[in-house]
Chains A and B, each alone.
Chain A
Amino acid sequence: MKVGLFVPCYVDMFHPETGIATLELLERFGLSVEYPVDQTCCGQPMTNTGCEREAARTEELFVRNFEKYDYIVTPSGSCTNQVRNNMTAIEQSDAVKHVRGRTYELVEFLHDVLKVDAFPWAEFPHRVALHNNCNTLRNLRIASMTERREEPFSKPKALLKMVRGIEFADLTRPDECCGFGGTFSVFEEGVSAKMGQDKVTDQLKSGAEYVTSSDSSCMMHQEGCARRMGANLKYIHIAQILNGARA
């Protein structure tokens, strides 16, 4: 199984440790993982804003970079959603269809494809609040959502439960959007920041020491709000916890 690693632009720039943890974690399961160095972005900022035509060349580049892999794995559900469900600016060739069908968010790849049942190296004796990105939650269906009447499930929680010492902190509004919303965070800054502050307040109330998520983008926004508020909360990508980060 040949795996191509997609490291989204935010992760590449601001959270290389998340990319490294994702790579190392996949390698722990004996996979051959490559990172095509000419990758940039999935095209989401443009598509999200409605500018599909402006996204076309970025999408073409993405497909060129990743068409040779059996699976494309990325530590971002939001980008996965873009590739899988919204990469429609370009002609849907076999290569495009292959890439779109084979792109997985890290947690669902570990849970659904590799069916991982243990992380013997992982220990995280901390109180952790889990944040699910909205695309990851409601479009990729990584967990049950409070809006629907369905059997509760959570793929990230199922994985985290295999980590020694971890304790979960419950939020009062677990599925409430944190207000990042991609370009929403800059175009609609006021509401975005308020939603972020409310999310951080909820996290503080839960008694969490750490917040974890399979999406760096939401956490970058939340962390920005938390720092400005002087909130004592730490943000860590789920890939790092599962890879055995010790805080």
Chain B
Amino acid sequence: MRAVIGDYTIRVERRADLRWWHTTLASVLAIVVSLFLVGFAFLRVGADPLEVYSEIVKYAFLSEFGLPQTINRATFVLLAAFALIVPLRAGLWNIGMPGQIYAATLAAFGVAYAFGAKRSVNVQLPGELIIPLMFLAALAAGAVYGAIAGFLRGRFQVNEIVTTMMLNWAMLWIVAHMIREGGPFMGRTAEGEGFTLPTSLRLPQILGVPLTVYIALALAVLLTWFLAKTTLGYRIRTYGESPRAAEYAGIDATRISTLVFALGGLLAGLAGYHYFAAVPGVFKIPKNYADFGDFSFYGLITGLIARNNPIAAIPVAVLFGGVSGGARFMQGKLRLAFGIDYALLGVLMIMMVAFQALAHYSVRVERQAAVPRPQLELERGESRVESPRH
């Protein structure tokens, strides 16, 4: 595309290849533009945008309560993003994080339940045995629940988006059945939430954050390596780029799609285990469990913004984890209207996705060398009569 304004030519061209700094710059610009735009909303409700933003940052990243919350939420979002990224590398959409998260969470709590964890918070159980069991059960259940959609897609071409969405609903009702009144996992207070995990079954922490945080960070590196360097990763990418070329190369569609969904489910399952069985102050399936299902969709946006790159997903997840907590805190502290924190998050997400798309284009402004205007050559002695209308 080209537009000429005076002596200047503005060229907009699609980039041949996108470098990491293009996307990074796009994300930073997106944040700046969002903060600027949402600033008007804050002005409208009578708050000083700068104060708002500094409150958010102070709480989310500098406060004693806020920072761990940010880290734990970011880990949850990050793992959910991995659950999107792995299948998406094979060209398949996993929208089933909530289902997979709760399949895993129920499995983990099921193991604890089987060992009598529901009796009391103080019951002494062999954690060194049961914690790994809970962990593995969670991963396995997430993987199996994810694999259903992948198998159906690979074997029978059933649309994976529809299947995963339906599996989400099924799982959310199963959770309701398990933790609400009369359900086997019902808590002692009977307030529609699950029983609290005994202290002996809680995942150990390092530097105030649960082990799962470190696992998630290591996974970012491991997944990047797995997708780029291993044979399986190669097959996943091949299938994602061209299912027909993959078939030609002898790559089995059913196997690949089952595998990527099992992996996606496993990663989502880890998110479930992390938040409900490892994050301090939670340790149960809460009443508002469905909200966390929605929260896992932040992972979807994160994966898209990070352009399927597990490492790039880390800062994005930290941003969303921080802003979601910080904005809610700020809204309460400054007594602002309900929902303004969501407005901020929503604008941020839209802008970041939009700017990622724009990063594909380069804009160049060129100044043209002034073209010498053709001079009318006049015969000597000839007079030139200017038109009266010019």
* A, B in one complex: no
| Residues of A that sit less than 8 Å from B by CB | none
